[in-house]
Amino acid sequence: MTSAQILFYTFSFFLVASSLIMIFAKNAAKAVLFLVLAFFSVAGLWILLEAEFLAITLILVYVGAVMVLFLFVIKMLNIDKSTLRAKFAGYLPLGLIVAAIIVAEMTMVLGHEQFGLNIYPAPEKASADYSNITILALQLYTDYVYPFELAAVLLLIAIIAAIALVHRPEQNRKKQDISEQVSVRAKDRLRIVSIAKNNKEVNND
């Protein structure tokens, strides 16, 4: 067994194990942490495939940003686990049957015979001065410029959607109205009351 193979099986083992733990974890925060481990394992696999840039981006973006936000949201929400699991047992048998059929079909179709090394030989190793990022950048802005722009539109929609769905109109908001504050006059706020003399004794008490 070469060192690459050992690494491959280690990462794959951690990937499968952490994915399973993530799905079956009762605690949502625990599930997120195991998802982080799954991402790390995938990043390791990608490095073995010489896709260094993607692997680093996966860790920076997904582990560094997305999952932290996820954890934050889960801690903020008060999720009632009993309602989540209320109908779980009822759906479980049917779900298991469907899952078993799909897994059986997939193992029949996706195997060594279809995707083995004899059909798809391993690609040659890239030379030492090969730059992943250069090729990626050139591809993104030439061959893939159209999908790239479309992905940008997708992000624009996400921004519009987020604002349209959660932005509250200015009904119950307390804020300063500067023009009103500037144009205020003394008589609007200060009431001068002339006090009669005979009240003086009362006030002094």
Contacts with other proteins, residue ranges (CB under 8 A) = 105, 109-110, 113-115, 119, 129-131, 134-135, 138-139, 142-147, 150-151, 153-154, 156-158, 160-161, 163-165
> What is the amino acid identity at position 165?
L
* Least distance to other proteins, CB of residue 188, Å: 27
User: Residue 161 or 184: which CB sits closer to other proteins?
Assistant: 161
Nearer to other proteins, 4 or 146 (CB): 146
- 22 or 33, CB closer to other proteins? 22
Position of tokens 């996820």? 70
In angstroms, rounded to a whole number, what is the distance separating the alpha carbons of residues 23 and 15?
A: 12
Which residue, 6 or 158, has its beta carbon nearer to other proteins?
Answer: 158
Nearer to other proteins, 60 or 100 (CB): 100
The burial class, CB within 10 Å (0-12 / 13-18 / 19+), for 39 is buried
Residue 85 vs residues 30, 81, 92, 128, 172: alpha-carbon distances, Å: 17, 6, 11, 53, 37
Residue pair 36/52 in contact (Cβ under 8 Å)? The answer is no
Q: For 133-137, which contacts have Cβ atoms below 8 Å and span 24 or more sequence positions?
A: 133/53, 136/53
Which positions ≥6 away from 51 have C-beta within 8 Å?
132
Least Å from the CB of residue 38 to other proteins:
17
Q: How far is the CB of 193 from other proteins (least distance, A)?
A: 42
Pick from 15, 78, 65: nearest CA to 42? 15
Least distance between other proteins and beta carbon 112 (Å): 10
* Residue 172 beta carbon to other proteins: minimum distance, rounded to whole angstroms: 15
The region that residue 126 occupies, defined by phi over 0 for left and psi between -120 and 50 for alpha, beta otherwise, is beta
Q: How many residues does the chain have?
A: 205
Query: Given the complex with other proteins, which of 80 and 205 has the nearer CB atom?
Result: 80
